[in-house]
Structure 1
Amino acid sequence: MAVLRTSIISLVVFTVILGIIYPLAMTGIAQSVFPDKANGSIIIKNGKAVGSYLIGQPFTDPGYFWSRPSATTPYPYNGASSSGSNLGQNNPDLQKALAERIAALKSADPENTKPIPIDLITSSGSGLDPHISPSAALYQVHRVAKHRGLNDSVIASLVEKLIEHRQFGVFGEPVVNVVKLNMGLDELKVK
């Protein structure tokens, strides 16, 4: 009976400490030290939440940079359905999707003869990635500049400015956040 009482008391004490006190303390520290990140890096525009810097969005207008394709269902960038397509490279469905994506990129910018970066035609493992490689962003510069009536160099310099380099100079690869890039484009339009 003493062992049972000790077990129940331990369960209650550790539940209170680890299930209530610790999470509240961590939430309080996160809210005070970096509230933006603790709240999901939400983008607020005109007092309204319009997205997050951590989740990609489907951009289809040729005057915007396009994100990586999303494999989530039933619609792209569905945070409740985070996943890749899980299709193997020889799967006919994947081959068809890749061919359609290549055709769409070439149709949107027929003057562009550069090789298409792989991240513009394949989805990420989560299907929610807001980043593309710098080469994928630079591949789209001419199309975006043409549709906005701007010089390619203006758009290219915006891309260069928004490249996020390797963390600590070692971890990861350089990337460009498409959400931030398109917000930067809209700010260019205002000026």
Structure 2
Amino acid sequence: MKTNLIPAIRLTVVMLILTSVIYPLVVAGIAKLAPGGGKGVTVEANGKVVGYALVGQKFTDDKYFNSRPSAVEYNAAGSAGSNKAPSNPDYLKAVEARIDTFMVHNPTVKKADIPAELVTASGSGLDPDLSPEAAKIQIARVAKVRGISAERLTQLVDEHTHGPLFGVFGPSTVNVLKLNVALDALK
């Protein structure tokens, strides 16, 4: 019995130290090297933190570029999609309601031209980005409400468009929070 018990206790102590002390310290050390020092990438306006760049936020006011819808109401503690199939009647009603709302606020846009991401929630429910096309389709509304030229807003969207990772992986994106902060900074 002693021959089995002592090695088992030693292994338990070694694994306890490895998994509850050494591993967390290594992960925390690596996180310190990441943007934001492991605390997340914050976005500031007028010296105050207004949000996190990697977490979607709700923008529905006509003077802002709207965010992608969220199945979890932008609650970062509960990241999730709706898990409803595209044929689900409740899902279809929600998408139709979003289309109708978008059309009311963007009367110059044709229904067929609305990018799907503006009326469907992402898998996480917290997507902070839109495609450049989804941002640009909102320019007419924002320009009218703010009294800013469409050309200047197009330039602003282009300035906030990030290409694919390493020029190859993924689509071009626009961070909605950063875009709206820059929009507020325009004079």
Normalising by structure 2, we get a TM-score of: 0.91
Distance (Å, rounded) in 2 between the aligned partners of 1:128 and 1:20: 31
Gaps of 5+ in 2: none
Once the two structures are TM-superposed, the CA of residue 174 in structure 1 deviates from its matched residue by 1.0
Q: 1:80 offset after TM fit, Å? A: 1.8
Deviation at 1:136, TM superposition (A): 0.4
Quick one: which amino acid aligns to residue 63 of structure 1?
A: K
Distance 1:35 1:152 in 2: 33
Q: Does 1:10 align with 2:8?
A: no
Aligned match of 2:50: 50
**What is the distance in 2 between the residues matched to 1:3 and 1:27?**
35
Find the aligned partners of 2:18 and 2:157 in 1 and give their Cα distance: 47
1:82 alignment counterpart: 79
Preserved contact between residue 54 and residue 128 of structure 2 (Cα < 8 Å): yes
Q: CA RMSD in A?
A: 1.7
Give the whole-Å Cα distance in 1 for the aligned partners of 2:99 and 2:37: 35
How far apart, in 2, do the equivalents of 1:138 and 1:71 lie? 23
Q: Which residue matches 2:142?
A: 144
TM superposition outliers: structure 1 runs of 4+ over 6 Å: none
Partner AA of 1:93 in structure 2: D
- Cα deviation, 1:83-126, whole Å, max 9, x if unaligned, reads 11111112111111111111111111212237000000000001
- Further displaced range: 157-166 or 107-116: 107-116
Shifted more, 38-47 versus 100-109: the winner is: 38-47
CA 1:26–1:158: 2 relative to 1, 3 Å: same
TM score, norm. by length of structure 1: 0.90
CA deviation digits over 1:55-74, x for unaligned, max 9? Answer: 111111101011110001xx
> What SS does the aligned partner of 1:155 have?
helix
Q: How does 1:36-185 map to 2 (within 5 A)?
A: 36=36, 38-45=38-45, 48-72=48-72, 76-113=73-110, 115-185=113-183
SS at match of 2:113: coil
Structure 1, unaligned runs of 5 or more: none
Q: Structure 2 CA distance, aligned partners of 1:4 and 1:103?
A: 69
Q: Residues 69 and 120 of structure 2 are in contact (CA less than 8 Å); yes or no, is this contact kept in structure 1?
A: yes
Give, in whole Å, the separation in 2 of the partners of 1:77 and 1:26.
27
Q: What is the Cα deviation at residue 48 of structure 1? A: 4.4
Name the count of aligned residue pairs. Answer: 185
Quickly say closer, same or farther: Cα 1:43–1:95, change in 2 above 3 A: same
**Change over 3 Å in CA distance of 1:29–1:87 after alignment to 2:** closer
d(CA) in 2 for partners of 1:49, 1:2: 59
In the alignment, which residue of structure 1 is the partner of 2:34? 34
Work out the CA distance in 1 between the residues paired with 2:44 and 2:185. Answer: 15
